[in-house]
Structure 1
């Protein structure tokens, strides 16, 4: 018998709202966590992003909120403003009840406005630890009637240095509350918090489904010895041509340098890091979701809140330190039945880490050499051919026919078409793909070339000669 939301114990009103939203069957984390939370037990859930954990803790809370009381009954902590807004919006959708007040509080936004919203009364608060502490200290956020407390993305919260704030908030909440922790990983510090603040919790662990080729195409590109990753990435991007991608790097410095290189080469890319203020981050996220920016370079921590439905590629420029983080990263693509691609750049000293990932996902990942010049040019010509096919059905085609007729008095049609294609190709051909670059393999060592960008000339790392093998940097 297939599980339904009704069979988990949710109310008819909640099930009806889920049906309106198009949800008919619970995910694995929802099937296991919802009955335990409805029964009043504390829950520790280990699950990756994209498994439905937001609904897993939201639905039991929404089903039990007392709409006759305008006091805070549930508090959900998230590591970032973006995730707080995401959870808040999701809970409002799942609620469908205007009597239930759901408020998000976070830094970088006017605290006075948030205070006024609290004074008007709300039942559920979703917020970041720092802003929650500020409101507690001002006396505007009162937890004396709190019934539920949730830590979402607990591992990221602690890795961002919020452990003291989290402990302080947990200590001020009523001891008879119901508590749930949800995290992709469970390290020692999280287990300590669980032991200290949860009462005989039920453990729910959902393994990330193995990525099948139909869902996520996992590809490894070996970076040749003597090459930098930045140099190897450029031909890979030209061949793969991601529609939208997150490129994961280890440090903010690496994000800034790689973004600068890719922008200099003419790509639509921007960096996302903790140094951006809230308005800058929000503006970039909107541009990315509206596909005004195709690619974002980010660290793991900064990338929280960057979940988007249209993400086609995840690129591991730097492999993560843990195999769990690898699975967490690639799980951002290939969602909702759509195809996705996960690309990893691997230098020789990372081979051992790659073997650990392969053992974890229980499959050998497809390994590819860096694309050759011939492969990239073939890809460029294929894209040009597709553009020509689109133009053949375009409305503006007739305006160019007189020019063709005039040229046809001296040249045949095939020659004219070939010349037009050559002009179009030369305009779109990658500037770093120079004519003196070896035809058979890009692993040669072409001389440095200047890439023109407006009035500036930048000597991109992408086309530099051989560099010393990079050393692994821990952060």
Structure 2
């Protein structure tokens, strides 16, 4: 493996990486940073937790340090949570050069954001909807001279059928210069990105990781009848809490809600880097392999180990086969004592029915554990 200096990275950035505990480039950094530094457009597709953000942050900062001025880089991302994480990496790595960043996302005061944009920050990290609103309503800033346009989680931003994203992107693309470097990064390669590779970019460098999930991730499944799936979920939570009381768990389901547990919809499956998540449980088997990849990528990040467990019913076997084909690996069965699950089955069913009767919009887990909860997604 190369080191950062052999990739052409400046000494001051190498020192910043060391201070963050980053001593060696990951595969996506090793392959994508040199062409970006050469001025080429780039499309990088790599597993979650593989260092994709630093793969574009580092070369952008190096180019900016050579000629700092105005709004130099625009990063678009689908969620506000990811926008804050990207901005933080720019802020930490770019501290020696006095980097000024600006986060433009929904839920914040537009007048305050407009004032920040008018001060010409070096880097703007934005969700498309809010930035498009500013472009439509304000003439106090311009992105006509940006050097970099970056789409992170590009497959989500460019997904067909997402009409709101499409309209907002049209507004933004009309406001940026034609002559620029365009960088696209994602964990999954969709048909939309394949088409874009040959159409919308200027002969881009393309790199795709052959590995969809990290080696440190122990990927498991539990085959369970649909009617007792909830009891298996509660049993798993009990088991992990009893054996590892300092572990955190993230549960993906079709609805959302916590007991040192983050229960989330697919809104949370992209980009979130929560270092202490040791376990991901899929309450439902994802209908698309790319959704599975994004979900399980919330654990085993940056070299850490993690476990993912998918509850598979008799109706989901074909979905598991599709996932295994995409990740090029077989999910292993997770051992469960069925008699232990049956012990709590009645209690779980009663708790669920009580919640349904009073129309409490949370999972039965809250009733079962008698705990406080928060809703995510």
Which residue number corresponds to residue 186 of structure 1? 189
Structure 2 partner of 1:223:
224
Residues 154-169 of structure 1 mapped to structure 2, 5 A cutoff: 154-159=154-159, 161-169=164-172
Inter-CA distance 121–368: structure 2 relative to 1 (3 Å threshold): closer
Tell me how far apart the structure 1 counterparts of residues 111 and 223 of structure 2 sit (CA, whole Å).
53
CA contact (8 A) 2:50 2:302 kept: no
Distance 2:239 2:252 in 1: 19
Match of 1:247 in 2: 251
Which residue in the other structure is 1:144 paired with? 144
Aligned partner of 2:177 in structure 1 is: 174
SS of the residue 2:316 aligns to: helix
2:119 is the counterpart of 1:113:
no
CA distance in 2, matches of 1:447, 1:182: 42
Tell which structure's C-alpha radius of gyration is larger: 1
Alignment-derived partner of residue 316 in structure 2: 350
- Change in 2 beyond 3 A, CA 1:359/1:130: closer
Shift of 1:306: 3.4
Q: Tell whether the 8 Å contact from 1:78 to 1:153 is kept in structure 2 after alignment.
A: yes
Aligned partner of 2:47 in structure 1 is: 48
Deviations 1:146-174 (A, max 9, x none): 11110000122234541221233123211
Tell me the alpha carbon deviations over residues 102-147 of structure 1, each in whole angstroms, 9 at most, x when there is no partner: 2111111011212222222311111110111122221233112111
Q: Shift of residue 304 of structure 1? A: 3.5
CA separation in 1, counterparts of 2:132 and 2:364?
44
Residue 321 (structure 1) aligns with: 287
Q: Say which SS state the counterpart of residue 219 (structure 2) adopts.
A: strand
User: For the structure 1 residues 184 and 304, does the alpha-carbon distance in structure 2 shift closer, same or farther, using more than 3 Å as the test?
Assistant: closer
Q: Is the 8 A contact 1:69 1:123 kept in 2?
A: yes
Which is further off, 108-117 or 98-107? 98-107
Structure 1 residues 275-305: Cα deviation after superposition (integer angstroms, max 9, x where no partner): xxxxxxxxxxxxxxxxxx5112212224445
- Contact 2:49–2:300 under 8 Å retained in 1: no
Taking structure 2 as the reference length, the TM-score comes to 0.84
SS in 2 for 1:348: coil
Unaligned runs of 5+ in 2: 366-377
Following superposition, the deviation at residue 88 of structure 1 comes to 0.3
Question: Retained in 1: the 8 A contact 2:49–2:302?
Answer: no
What is aligned with 1:438?
A: none
Aligned partners of 2:105 and 2:127 also within 8 Å: yes
Name the residue aligned to 2:83: 84
Shift of the 77–234 alpha-carbon distance from structure 1 to 2, 3 Å rule, reads same
TM-score (norm 1): 0.67
Q: Deviations over 1:314-345 (max 9, x none)?
A: 11111222223323322221234433110100
Task: Answer yes or no: is the 8 Å Cα contact 2:213–2:297 preserved in 1.
Answer: no
Higher mean displacement: 122-131 or 61-70: 61-70
How far off is 1:365 after superposition? 2.4
Q: RMSD across aligned C-alpha pairs, in angstroms?
A: 2.9
Q: Which runs of 5+ in 1 are unaligned?
A: 260-268, 270-292, 377-431, 435-441, 463-475
C-alpha offsets along residues 263-283 of structure 1, whole Å, 9 cap, x if unaligned?
A: xxxxxx1xxxxxxxxxxxxxx
1:353 and 1:309, CA in 2 relative to 1: closer, same or farther beyond 3 A? Answer: same
Q: Secondary structure of the equivalent of 2:133? A: helix
1: CA distance, partners of 2:289 / 2:350: 38
- Secondary structure class of the residue paired with 2:78: coil
